[in-house]
Structure 1
Amino acid sequence: MATITTALASSETWEDIQHALSGGGDGRSCQCVWPVLTQKDWKDTTLDDRTALFQHEIATGRSPGLVAYIDGAVAGWVRIGPRPAQRRLARTRNIVATTQEPFDDDSVWAVTCFVVRKEHRRKGVNAALLAAAIEFARSSGARVVEGYPIDTTASSPNVNDLFHGALSTFLAAGFTEGARANPARPLVSLDLEA
């Protein structure tokens, strides 16, 4: 059985993160900065801009996520961090309509992106990343973790849309489903103080 491990994003894991992002889907072109940019700012960036922004974020701030490994081979990535730092969320109608938490509260963290390399899909990488992300949030003082997954029983998303994560993964990790502004896109939350 394969062993899945995780490591916090850092300058030392930069090349591993880039390898994770280049394994299929839009990860390489996005550089996982879509959640931190407004739509206008996103449109004004190039791939080089996004890469430089992501590298700077990793080198100078709190780690914005974790990279996963299967038996030492790079397998995936998850973005998690304080919700206020992920500026797009406060401008996303589905989230604004369904969250119960104030947008300026740094104790509310959000899981916004998963990437799993094609050769490592269906091996439990997302579940392992989510578990590690929850522990990272808890140890960093988060009070609540939110997610914005896709309910794959209510829609048939293409693989690129699954970067939000699947509802079933969040529910299995103990998240509670909240309101749905969109039939296939529930808001889920995990109270870390409960």
Structure 2
Amino acid sequence: MPYDLDLLDETAWRDLVARFGRRMWAVARAAGLGPADAGDAVQAAWLRLLESLHTIRDPERVGAWLITTTRHEAARIGRRRAGDRPSGLPADLPAPGGDDPAAAMLSDDQGRRLWAAVDTLPRPCRALVRLIVMVPDASYAQLSRRLDMPIGSIGPTRIRCLKRLRSLMEDER
């Protein structure tokens, strides 16, 4: 489906996230990034899309662009993290997953399980978790307006929702 990138609305963004978000996570995780760094890589790729909307010539290839951008962001984060390696560990350890298709498939499966667990959360949690992933730099004031929640309840709700999600994922094991 071609996207009119100049006129992306909320529905189009949701469609993009639904179609490519899991694959982007799988690419970041297959690059050997942990969950937090993979989230950073995916978020950076979405940000790059926002910054580059006017330069994308072929909207039908936006998915490939997102995957490639995620791969580049994951590599950048991986290189930055390589400098943080605890002493005593060899620098040439293979990255978990790397270019291994089986590892990529497992990461993709983990992403599917995670989003399936998110879908079981109550509505306020589901909406909050999705917004945090889609708009990671959103302020509590912005989240409050978007979710029609008091600003003071965003943090505690976020903590409760993430605890519940963690519990769901641990129960699945």
Q: TM-score, normalised by structure 2?
A: 0.29
Tell me which of the two structures has the higher relative contact order, counting C-alpha pairs closer than 8 angstroms and 6 or more residues apart: 2
Question: Which one has the largest radius of gyration?
Answer: 2
Q: Which has the higher helix share?
A: 2
Q: TM-score, normalised by structure 1?
A: 0.26
